[in-house]
Chains A and B, each alone.
Chain A
């Protein structure tokens, strides 16, 4: 029995998680808020990977597991696959999604971006908006980390949003 939830409900819930952790529970400690959100994502990724690897044969190596994340796992979560996968063959993978679904409906104040880094106050404002958007990426990073850890791969995941709505996730596998 497959139960469905509306997508706008999920997006609103995620936005509210970030908001309540950043301005509510850990109001002046963004690192703690980030770690808590990432831990929630870790548990979710752990359980989701259990469900989505059910009917598949076992993975032979790390690359197979990462490809699973890029294709099947991402399609189950975001209805599309990762657009670009890069690796340095030494344990670092970059997953690029050209239109990250959970950030697609977020806008950053365009006046801040247009002014660039000329004056200090506007640069600070641009940093703040980048930081605020960055907070929303801890949850998906946690999901990826949880899924990979359930497959036996310990790693660190970070996100890069230099050009929205494209989003890159950098996975560093601990040797």
Chain B
């Protein structure tokens, strides 16, 4: 089950952060997202140590902390998408599909002429689309 998704700008400023749990632990989730940003920077700046192809957008599993798994995705415009999930077995392909759809929704939200680049995304449609994508992620991985 996905507990949190976040969009972080290229100066590590949060553009959109949404948690999907009923519990009130949004602060802890913010903290996890923040820590995973460091891992993203490390992966991007030291490609040889981590053995990744440097121009992949999907960064994969960043760090398994306690009972959460964190996945990262970095776009060409240095915008990072972070996905926090409590699922024990998440297939790589599922995460990639999720990020693909999320990227499309993000691009559509940013193309809004009333959106100011660098400020938070306040579009209701984006929030609805993200919840739809999150729900469909849960369904596909459980089947």
Interface membership of A56, Cβ < 8 A: yes
User: Which residue of B has the minimal Cβ distance to A64?
Assistant: B55
| B77, A151: Cβ atoms closer than 8 Å | yes
Contacting B111 at CB < 8 Å: which of A47, A53, A60?
A47
> Given A51-B107, A152-B77, 16 more contacts at CB 8 Å?
A46-B117, A47-B110, A47-B111, A47-B117, A49-B76, A50-B75, A51-B111, A54-B104, A54-B107, A57-B53, A57-B56, A58-B74, A59-B76, A60-B54, A150-B77, A151-B77
How far, in angstroms, from A109 to B109 measured CA to CA in the complex? 44
CB distance from A62 to the nearest CB of B (A): 13
User: Which residue of A has the minimal Cβ distance to B10?
Assistant: A152
User: Which residue of B has the minimal Cβ distance to A150?
Assistant: B77
CB within 8 Å of A: which B46-81 residues: 53-57, 74-78
Interface membership of B103, Cβ < 8 A: yes
User: Which residue of B has the minimal Cβ distance to A47?
Assistant: B111
CB within 8 Å of B: which A26-45 residues: 43
- Of the listed residues B75, B76, B104, the one surrounded by the most CB atoms of chain A closer than 10 A to its CB is B76
| A49, B55: Cβ atoms closer than 8 Å | no
Grouping DSSP codes into helix (H, G, I), strand (E, B) and loop, the B interface class, with mixed when no group exceeds half, is: loop
Taking CB atoms, residues of chain A closer than 8 Å to B54 are 58, 60
Taking CB atoms, residues of chain B closer than 8 Å to A43 are 113, 117
How far, in angstroms, from A111 to B112 measured CA to CA in the complex? 45
How far, in angstroms, from A53 to B107 measured CA to CA in the complex? 10
Taking CB atoms, residues of chain B closer than 8 Å to A49 are 76-77
Taking CB atoms, residues of chain A closer than 8 Å to B77 are 49-50, 53, 150-152
**With A50-B107, A51-B111, A54-B107: A60-B75 Cβ-Cβ less than 8 Å:** no
**With A49-B77, A152-B78: A57-B57 Cβ-Cβ less than 8 Å:** yes
Taking CB atoms, residues of chain B closer than 8 Å to A56 are 76
Taking CB atoms, residues of chain B closer than 8 Å to A152 are 10, 77-78
